[in-house]
């Protein structure tokens, strides 16, 4: 046998297209050629594979080796192709039987001694492998991650020799038995830490219940960051499908994330546009994708470069980001909840009663103009966070903790899912007509408010969505006048 074919996977964003590793041995001077658009890490695999085969007790063939990675027009990167390349060489040289490989896919990086090292993107590969009806052999360090998929057979190996013995039927690898993962209920921060600030707390609960975006504005030290960092603790835990989506993203990005908890990402204001939305020559997920199904917190919002902030406008609406390159186009999910915080002026004390602000009107205007009107129009709730008095800071009376608020948020979630199968923030204008109608008095109030606040059509619909969420928290089937006026009060900061 001078030819072998092994199945494996490449990574293209969050997708894992199939790759066939074809190995052919022919007469000629000893050489090894890899074709099929291999990146540097794949081209370097020839040296790792040679040493791993020899150190595993096999012979490296002294013939002309040609390795084709099909399809030839799909770029292949990373060291995950080491294991299938090594197995293809051993089968083509007659040291392993060909039978038994057609139902398996193989991934893994090889050490020089034949040990299998972990790779990134395991969960995306496992999902694609399951859809193809194949079983997966992979490094033991990745087995727990891949076994999160229900009804999927995973075989974990520590060494190249183990895989070879399994294919030779000498010593079969047993199916990996995963450890049951429990959703983490421990949150680093709790809403009970926040003293006073009843109105910002209320806005935070509304934002959590309906998935709305939120902007905190106020002088330094009033608790804007404190409040924002507690949002993740009052959001419902992820369900099974959402867990898989988030885990796939973090697997591709090679990051760790607590199972069951919603992501909370807080990039520094020096972050670039590529860091925020993703990209690179081999596109990787950015912060908005890492915040998928969770929270993206932008502290000191005006300190971000304006061009960086403008890239958020389309993903906020579309809930995904499309990254286009000359050779490919990749779509990453970006269904995140935007929370931002800012000071009212460069020194932070404008409009404060103590008259500490020394900024000119022109300086304040320039500072606030760093954030464009179209971006502000996409933020649902605009909340002032005032300074606290000493009596409020010294108050030791217990306040509601995150668990209590989270129960109300979960109940509002359930109402929305039963009624419309989506959160209120995702309601279309047509759905708003069906699920958020206004009676005569409320409609008249809204008409006057639209004229006074000079609301855009987007702002009009966003206020309706917030009012629908307030009604859900009040367990009201219909939007009452009080629900609408409260929603309007959260929009006046954008007037």
pLDDT for position 181 = 67
Instruction: Dump pLDDT digits (tens) for 153-207.
Output: 899 999 999 999 999 999 999 999 887 766 666 778 889 888 888 999 999 999 9
Q: What is the pLDDT of residues 9-35, one digit of tens each?
A: 999 889 999 999 999 999 989 999 999
- Mean pLDDT for the chain overall: 91
**Same fold? 3-167, 191-426:** no
Average pLDDT over residues 226-238: 92
pTM of the model: 0.89
- CATH code that applies to domain 191-426: 3.40.50.300
pLDDT digits (tens, 9 = 90+) for 32-79: 999 998 999 899 999 999 999 999 999 999 999 999 999 998 889 889
| Res 182: pLDDT | 67
pLDDT at 392 over 70: yes
Q: What's the Cα-to-Cα distance from 358 to each of 297, 352, 362, 364, rounded to whole Å? A: 29, 11, 12, 10
Report residue 328's pLDDT band, with 50, 70 and 90 as the boundaries. Answer: confident
**pLDDT over 70 (residue 493):** no
pLDDT of 358 reads: 86
Closest by CA position to 198, among listed 386, 402, 409: 386
Per-residue pLDDT at 260 = 77
pLDDT digits (tens, 9 = 90+) for 409-465: 999 999 999 999 999 999 999 999 999 999 888 889 998 888 888 888 999 999 999
Whether 98 shows a pLDDT value over 80: the answer reads: yes
Q: Mean pLDDT across the stretch 377-391?
A: 90
Q: In whole angstroms, give the CA distance from residue 442 to residue 342.
A: 32
Note the pLDDT tens digit of each residue in 117-142: 999 999 999 999 999 999 999 999 99
Question: Using one digit for the tens of pLDDT, what is the confidence trace for 459-489?
Answer: 999 999 999 999 999 999 999 999 999 999 9
What ranges do the domains of the chain cover? 3-167, 191-426
Q: What is the mean pLDDT of residues 376-400?
A: 86
> pLDDT at residue 307 above 70?
yes
Q: Taking a C-beta distance cutoff of 8 angstroms, is the pair 24, 124 a contact?
A: no
- Examine the pLDDT at 393 and tell me if it is beyond 90: no
Residue 253 has pLDDT above 60, yes or no: yes
The answer to whether the CB of 469 falls within 8 A of the CB of 206 is yes
> Given this model, what pLDDT does residue 185 score?
65
SS3 annotation, the chain: CCEEEEEEECCECCECCEEEEEEEEECCCCEEEEECCECHHHHCHHHHHHHHHHHCCCCCCCCEEEEEEECCCCCECCCCCHHHHHHHHHHHCCCCCCCCCCCEEECCEECCCCEEECCCCHHHHHHHHHHCCCEEEEEHHHHHHHCCCCCCCEEEECEHHHHHHHHCCCCCCCECCCCCCCCCCCCCCCHHHCCCCHHHHHHHHHHHHHCCCEEEECCCCCCHHHHHHCHHHHCCCCCHHHHHHHHHHHHHHCCCCCCCCCCEECCCCCCCHHHHHEECCCCEECHHHHCCCCEEEECCHHHCCHHHHHCCHHHHHHCEEEEECCCCEEEEECCCEEEEEECCCCCCCCCCCCCCCCCCHHHHHHHHCCCCHHHHHCCCEEEECCCCCHHHHHCCCCCCCHHHHHHHHHHHHHHHHHHHCCCHHHCCHHHHHHHCCCCHHHHHHHHHHHHHHCCCHHHHHHHHHHHHHHHHHCCCCCCCHHHHHHHHHCCHHHC
Which stretch of 92-106, 167-181, 303-317, 412-426 has the lowest confidence by average pLDDT? 167-181
- The two tokens of residue 195 are 């003293």
- Class of the domain covering 3-167: alpha beta
Positive or negative, the CA dihedral 187, 191, 195, 200 is positive
pLDDT of residue 148: 85
- Is residue 495 very low, low, confident or very high in pLDDT (cuts 50, 70, 90)? very low
Share of the chain above pLDDT 70, in %: 98
What integer is the mean pLDDT of 263-285?
A: 91
Query: What pLDDT sits at residue 494?
Result: 41
Closest by CA to 147, choosing from 241, 244, 80, is 244
Q: What's the pLDDT score for residue 389?
A: 82
């Amino acid at each position: 046998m001078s030819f072998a074919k092994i199945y494996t996977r490449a990574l293209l964003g969050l997708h894992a297209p199939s790759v066939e590793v074809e190995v052919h041995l022919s007469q000629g001077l000893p050489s090894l050629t890899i074709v099929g658009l291999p990146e540097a890490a794949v081209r370097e695999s020839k040296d790792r594979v040679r040493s791993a085969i020899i150190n595993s007790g096999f012979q490296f063939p002294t013939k002309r080796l040609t390795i084709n990675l099909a399809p030839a027009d799909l770029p292949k990167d990373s060291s995950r192709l080491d294991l299938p390349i090594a197995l293809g060489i051993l089968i083509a040289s007659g040291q392993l039987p060909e039978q038994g490989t057609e139902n398996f896919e193989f991934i893994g990086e090889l050490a020089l001694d034949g040990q299998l090292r972990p790779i990134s993107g395991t969960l995306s590969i496992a999902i694609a492998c399951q859809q193809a009806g194949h079983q997966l052999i992979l490094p033991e360090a990745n087995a727990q991650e891949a076994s999160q998929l229900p009804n999927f057979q995973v075989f974990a190996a520590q060494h190249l020799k183990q895989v070879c013995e399994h294919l030779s039927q000498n010593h079969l690898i047993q199916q990996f038995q995963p450890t049951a993962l429990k959703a983490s209920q421990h949150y680093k921060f709790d809403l009970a830490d926040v003293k006073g600030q009843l109105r910002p707390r209320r806005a935070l609960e509304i934002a959590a219940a309906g998935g709305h975006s939120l902007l905190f504005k106020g002088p330094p030290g009033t608790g804007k960051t404190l409040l924002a960092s507690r949002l993740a603790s009052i959001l419902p835990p992820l369900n099974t499908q959402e867990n898989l989506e988030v885990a796939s993203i973090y697997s591709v990005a090679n990051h760790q994330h607590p199972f069951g908890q919603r992501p909370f990402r807080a990039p520094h204001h020096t972050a670039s546009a590529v860091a925020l939305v993703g990209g690179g020559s081999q596109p990787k997920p950015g912060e908005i994708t890492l915040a998928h199904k969770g929270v993206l917190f932008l502290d000191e919002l005006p300190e971000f470069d304006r061009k960086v902030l403008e890239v958020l406008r389309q993903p906020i609406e579309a809930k995904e980001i499309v990254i286009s390159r000359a050779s490919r186009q990749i779509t990453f999910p970006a269904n995140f909840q935007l929370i931002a915080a800012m000071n009212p002026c460069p020194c932070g004390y404008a409009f404060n009663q103590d008259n500490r602000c020394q900024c000119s009107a022109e300086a304040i205007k320039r500072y606030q103009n760093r954030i464009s009107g179209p971006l502000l129009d996409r933020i649902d709730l605009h909340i002032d966070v005032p300074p606290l008095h000493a009596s409020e800071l010294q108050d030791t009376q217990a306040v509601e903790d995150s668990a209590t608020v989270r129960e109300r948020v979960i109940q509002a979630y359930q109402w929305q899912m039963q009624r419309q199968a989506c959160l209120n923030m995702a309601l279309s204008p047509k759905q708003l007509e069906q699920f958020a109608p206004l009676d005569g008095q409320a409609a008249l109030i809204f008409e006057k408010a639209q004229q006074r606040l000079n609301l855009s059509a987007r702002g009009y619909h966003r206020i309706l969505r917030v009012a629908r969420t307030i009604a859900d928290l009040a367990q009201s089937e219909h939007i009452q006048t009080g629900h609408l006026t409260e929603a309007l009060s959260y929009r006046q900061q954008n007037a």
